[in-house]
């Protein structure tokens, strides 16, 4: 692994938004990275960050961050790595401009996820896909992380697919409000209610899973042949996506074998001891009441995925519940872990 001798300057695009704020929270004391630039829309550019942002994270804005002047999203920031928390409506062309200018763009937006030469990366699942950036023709590079609901699901499926081969998956999500950003869902819509539709979410889960679980061969990803059906719902929980998952396997599997696969699973981030990698990426609870968002979303500083209620299914082979912190493991935390892997693998040069 590349030795980190001094902190690497990084910038945040869309720094005033919900994902941008989570990036600040995760990066403010990071051992490898130092925030040297905050960029946002023209409405915020030129203001002190503390005056531009409607801060809604736990605790106050770090003083040094609050007194930074927000820049426009122009490719002249004093860094070479930028984390993009931009809204998908504007992220695509802005991220491409930065890549053309030589920046490494670590993106949370959906715009480039399915590009053939762009890694759709969960470092605990498909770290080898990072090599796709070698196919990109721009001076800089773009790396993406998946949709927040996809991430928790794939973390649970990966050990099982490796060990036994998964044939079909059905997943029903109960997704937290923070996944809609700020101001998000109206209180009159969500209090005493659930919303059984999240635009584009089901399609993203179904296609992103196939790329992530696919095999990298000859510089391209051969998509998985997994069949997946997703139904997505918004529920009155602040943080933590819960998913009810049913799976069928390509061969006969015992319950104890599934539990063993989850318990023993680790990957390259754990081997490299990356700063944001949880020591235990997956935790299984025997208590049938668990996991629960309020109790378990912050395990592993929000990077551990919790699973419970593994039992036989009358239609598929088995079914279980999965919980992941959607704004940490499913968004900013995954992007930071992507950047750590990229640096550790030697793709960043001072």
| Position 244 in a domain | yes
Residues 165 and 21 occupy one common structural domain: no
| Position 1 in a domain | no
C-beta of residue 33 within 8 angstroms of C-beta of residue 27: yes
| Position 349 in a domain | no
Number of structural domains the chain divides into = 2
Peptide bond into 237 cis (omega under 30): no
Cα separation, 130 vs 345, whole angstroms: 9
Residues 16 and 162 occupy one common structural domain: no
CB-based burial of residue 191 (10 Å sphere; 0-12 exposed, 13-18 middle, 19+ buried)?
exposed
Residues 167 and 287 occupy one common structural domain: yes
State yes or no: pLDDT of 19 exceeds 90. yes
Residues 135 and 190 occupy one common structural domain: no
- 177 band by pLDDT with thresholds 50, 70 and 90: very high
State the CATH number of the domain containing residue 310. Answer: 3.30.360.10
Residues 71 and 214 occupy one common structural domain: no
Residues 143 and 284 occupy one common structural domain: no
- 155 band by pLDDT with thresholds 50, 70 and 90: very high
Residues 177 and 274 occupy one common structural domain: yes
| Position 280 in a domain | yes
Residues 160 and 269 occupy one common structural domain: yes
| Position 336 in a domain | yes
pLDDT digits (tens, 9 = 90+) for 33-71: 999 999 999 999 999 999 999 999 988 999 999 999 999
Residues 189 and 254 occupy one common structural domain: yes
* Residues above pLDDT 70, as percent of the chain: 99
Which are the contacts of 199, defined by CB distance < 8 A and separation ≥ 6?
A: none
| Position 3 in a domain | no
Return the closest-CA partner of residue 177 out of 242, 231, 121.
242
C-beta of residue 251 within 8 angstroms of C-beta of residue 164: yes
- 5 band by pLDDT with thresholds 50, 70 and 90: confident
Would you state the pLDDT for residue 3?
72
Residues 266 and 130 occupy one common structural domain: no
Residues 68 and 155 occupy one common structural domain: no
Domain coverage including residue 15: 8-147+332-344
| Position 301 in a domain | yes
Which residues are catalytically annotated? 148, 241
State the CATH number of the domain containing residue 41. Answer: 3.40.50.720
Residues 161 and 122 occupy one common structural domain: no
| Position 169 in a domain | yes
Would you state the pLDDT for residue 134?
97
């Amino acid at each position: 692994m590349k030795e980190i001798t001094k902190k690497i300057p990084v910038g945040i695009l869309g720094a005033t938004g919900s994902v941008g704020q989570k990036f600040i929270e995760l990066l403010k004391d990071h051992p490898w990275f130092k925030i040297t630039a905050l960029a946002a829309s023209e409405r915020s550019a030129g203001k002190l960050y503390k005056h531009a942002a409607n801060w809604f994270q736990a605790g106050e804005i770090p003083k040094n961050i609050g007194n930074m002047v927000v820049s426009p999203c122009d490719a002249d920031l004093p860094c070479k790595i930028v984390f993009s928390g931009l809204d998908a409506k504007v992220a695509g062309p802005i991220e491409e401009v930065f890549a053309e200018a030589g920046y490494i763009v670590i993106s949370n937006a959906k715009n480039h996820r399915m590009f053939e030469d762009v890694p759709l990366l969960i470092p605990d699942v498909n770290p080898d896909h990072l090599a796709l950036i070698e196919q990109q023709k721009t001076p800089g590079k773009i790396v993406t992380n998946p949709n927040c609901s996809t991430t928790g699901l794939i973390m649970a499926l990966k050990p099982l697919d490796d060990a036994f081969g998964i044939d079909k998956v059905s997943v029903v999500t109960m997704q937290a409000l923070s996944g809609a950003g700020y101001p998000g869902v109206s209180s009159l819509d969500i209090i005493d209610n659930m919303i059984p539709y999240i635009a584009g979410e089901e399609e993203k889960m179904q296609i992103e899973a196939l790329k992530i679980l696919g095999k990298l061969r000859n510089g391209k990803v051969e998509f998985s042949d997994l069949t997946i059906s997703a139904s997505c719902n918004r529920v009155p929980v602040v943080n933590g996506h819960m998913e009810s998952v049913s799976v069928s396997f390509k061969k006969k599997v015992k319950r104890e074998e599934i539990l063993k696969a989850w318990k023993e699973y680790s990957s390259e981030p754990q081997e490299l001891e990356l700063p944001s990698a949880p020591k235990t990426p997956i935790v299984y609870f025997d208590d049938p009441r668990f996991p629960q968002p309020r109790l378990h979303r912050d395990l592993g500083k929000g990077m551990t995925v919790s699973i419970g209620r593994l039992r036989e299914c009358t239609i598929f082979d088995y079914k279980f519940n999965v919980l992941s912190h959607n704004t940490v493991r499913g968004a900013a935390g995954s992007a930071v872990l992507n950047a750590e892997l990229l640096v550790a693998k030697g793709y960043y040069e001072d």
